[in-house]
């Protein structure tokens, strides 16, 4: 089954292919818009000779060159747009952890540990800065901050008064880290449940696991992504996707039962 990362990688690759195609078209259009004498047959600087037999041909050459130039600029702009969107997808791939990544659990655990370490370090920094004499910069405090790995310039800057004359690392920094940690912990729990559900579905008949949870709701888990017809039937029956399974209170669609039976 295609993963989210693989789908996005294909999208980025497709965008780059479109960009190359647009670049080639732009180059062709700019060549067509070239009015040099050896290509257009019109001497450089030659005005339209009104009333002369060459007037009509001259005007048509200029019109074709103008149209080609406009198309060239449009294709060039589209090429830049595709490149920009491909770069955005690449940035997303570099900085994101997708639930269906093979190493999603390990990557989330590593990010949680990293943010927890950053929060703890911030607390240590503020603890040193706010020791007596409070709010005052001393050689001992600077030395302690440098021992934590801060550069001298950074350590001294932390004693500069900011909003409401506060010094040190602002409280919102750790609050933001706490929010990220909680979000990643919640997501990690969901990813683990999804993995467990998928593993159980792989062991079920024909890769379809059907049962009831503690709340009396039906749950349906597939080892592989089912067809559009089955997904549509689940949605029409009021089933909703949650943590790797489809949950609902109505009768399980017959097409799902048939799939479990291997029909």
Task: Report the distance separating Cα 122 and Cα 116, nearest Å.
Answer: 10
CA 238-183-225 angle, 5° bins: 40
Domain 204-260 has CATH 2.20.20: yes
The per-residue pLDDT for 75 is: 97
3-state secondary structure of 41: coil
Mean pLDDT of each 10-residue bin along the chain, 263 residues long: 89 97 96 81 77 82 91 97 97 93 94 96 92 84 91 89 81 95 95 88 90 86 90 92 88 90 84
Helical residues (DSSP H) of the chain, grouped into ranges:
4-32, 37-40, 55-95, 104-129, 139-147, 152-157, 171-203, 228-236, 254-260
What's the whole-model pTM score? 0.75
Phi, psi of 45 (to 5 degrees): 85, 0
Domain residue ranges in the chain: 4-95, 104-178, 204-260
Asked if 86 contacts 19 with a C-beta cutoff of 8 angstroms, the reply is yes
* Tokens 């009768």, located at residue: 251
DSSP one-letter code for 162: -
The per-residue pLDDT for 1 is: 66
């Amino acid at each position: 089954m295609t993963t989210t990362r693989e789908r996005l990688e294909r999208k980025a690759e497709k965008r780059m292919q479109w960009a190359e195609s647009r670049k080639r078209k732009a180059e062709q259009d700019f060549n067509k818009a070239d009015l040099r004498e050896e290509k257009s047959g019109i001497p450089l600087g030659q005005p339209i000779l009104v009333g002369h037999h060459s007037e009509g041909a001259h005007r048509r050459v200029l019109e074709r060159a103008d149209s080609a130039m406009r198309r060239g600029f449009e294709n060039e702009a589209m090429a830049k747009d595709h490149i920009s969107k491909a770069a955005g997808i690449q940035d997303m791939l570099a900085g994101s952890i997708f639930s269906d990544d093979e190493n999603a659990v390990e990557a989330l655990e590593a990010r949680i540990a990293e943010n927890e370490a950053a929060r703890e370090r911030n607390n240590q920094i503020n603890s040193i800065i706010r020791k007596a004499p409070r709010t005052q910069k001393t050689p001992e405090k600077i030395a302690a901050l440098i021992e934590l790995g801060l550069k001298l310039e950074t350590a001294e800057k932390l004693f500069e008064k900011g909003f409401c004359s506060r010094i040190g690392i602002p409280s919102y920094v750790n609050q933001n880290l706490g929010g990220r940690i909680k979000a990643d912990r919640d997501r990690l729990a969901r990813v683990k449940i999804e993995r467990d559900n998928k593993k159980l579905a792989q062991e079920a008949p024909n890769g379809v696991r059907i049962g009831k949870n503690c709340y009396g709701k039906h749950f349906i888990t597939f080892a592989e992504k089912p067809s559009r017809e089955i997904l549509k039937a689940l949605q029409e029956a009021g089933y909703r996707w949650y943590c790797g399974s489809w949950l609902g209170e109505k009768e399980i669609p017959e097409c799902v039962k048939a799939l479990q039976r291997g029909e």
